[in-house]
Structure 1
């Protein structure tokens, strides 16, 4: 049973490592919320997430980046000097990502699509051709 649990944990770690970049934007939004609201709890309420999950994900991002993002030695938890000094960049990344998604959404609405279909040769004299032209 222990071997199965160890294999499960290893596989889970592999999956988390492969998908960790997907959490980065979410975590940047959390860091920005902490800066605005003043606490991790308020940031989690604002972003509808669990503080324990966010803390774990932020720890993973800290390991990935090699710098502290939060100062956990103070209560309540505060942003690290690194995070505070990079808040303008964090906000810019969030804004640019929002603009990209907005632009993509707009493109979906306005993008021309090609419709392909085929007709039999006998349908050339059929009234359907008039409807297609319209």
Structure 2
């Protein structure tokens, strides 16, 4: 029998004034209540109740103990209500970590609408390329590309990355458009600085690594885009990062018939969260909101 259950019995006996009344509240035999009260007193090493054939009264120690016991049980009930309320309604702090490029391009524009829909969810956003640990960093959701590093995580796919080669019209007017993937060795190539994304592959049957000119390296997707817009060369970049520029003509896709990737397979971006029996409402509604509103 747990200490908490004994506190419930003790409080009820004090408040009803009798073991028999308390036994009816809990639908137990009076002897069961008596045994638990005796066990409580034995554990504490002190008498809490003065028992007579007609009445039960508190000892001085019992009066002190009852004051604390009331608060403990009341606070636990309040805690249970608070947790149950959290489980029913999306509220509380939600920490989200995402890569800088994807966050700025695809997630941050959605945040005001999410806050308007769920005003009791308080969002903390971290934009970083570093590898994070959801438990150690106290992160609810991480948005990343690539494979799952841990079997204790769940990944929900948000979109394919669809890497393309592109450049500004001005750069292509000056240098001409490459005729094939082999000719990329003659062009200024802006590479992404992340170690897993520096190489360029063309996917045709199996992946083939391309020979490209050593040139600018920048450690963010948005940095690549700014260099593209300022006519620094060609870049292998996710479509989601440059869709507006492709639509308005400030960037042009190059070698559109080829399938490119910065590593030996195609990739997608995922929302990653801890594998748990129950997903909290705040996490669930944010995942649903992303899936509904991110343009694939």
SS in 2 for 1:86: helix
* TM-score scaled by length of structure 2: 0.31
- Is the contact made by 2:14 and 2:58 (CA closer than 8 Å) also made in structure 1? no
Q: How do residues 31-110 of structure 1 correspond to structure 2 at under 5 angstroms?
A: 31-72=10-51, 74-81=52-59, 82-109=61-88, 110=90
Measured in 2, the distance between the counterparts of 1:77 and 1:28 equals 20
Aligned residues of 2:19 and 2:30 also touching (Cα < 8 A): yes
1:26 paired residue number: 5
CA distance in 1, matches of 2:55, 2:10: 11
Larger Rg: 2
Deviations 1:56-82 (A, max 9, x none): 12211111100112223x113513312
Q: CA deviation at 1:50?
A: 2.1
Structure 2 unaligned blocks of 5 or more: 95-139, 142-153, 161-265, 269-290
2-side partners of 1:85 and 1:133: how far apart? 56
Native 8 Å contact 1:31 1:79 kept in 2: no
RMSD: 3.0
Give the Cα separation in 1 of the matches to 2:292 and 2:76.
41
Question: Higher relative contact order by CA 8 Å / sep ≥ 6: 1 or 2?
Answer: 2
CA contact (8 A) 1:40 1:77 kept: no
Work out whether residues 9 and 37 of structure 2, in 8 Å CA contact, stay in contact via their aligned partners in 1: no
What is the CA deviation profile of residues 23-79 of structure 1, one whole-angstrom value per residue up to 9, with x for unaligned ones?
Answer: x2222222222222111100111122221112112211111100112223x113513
Q: Which has the higher helix share?
A: 1
Stretches of structure 1 that go unaligned for 5 or more consecutive residues are: 1-19, 124-131
How big is the shift at 1:105?
1.1
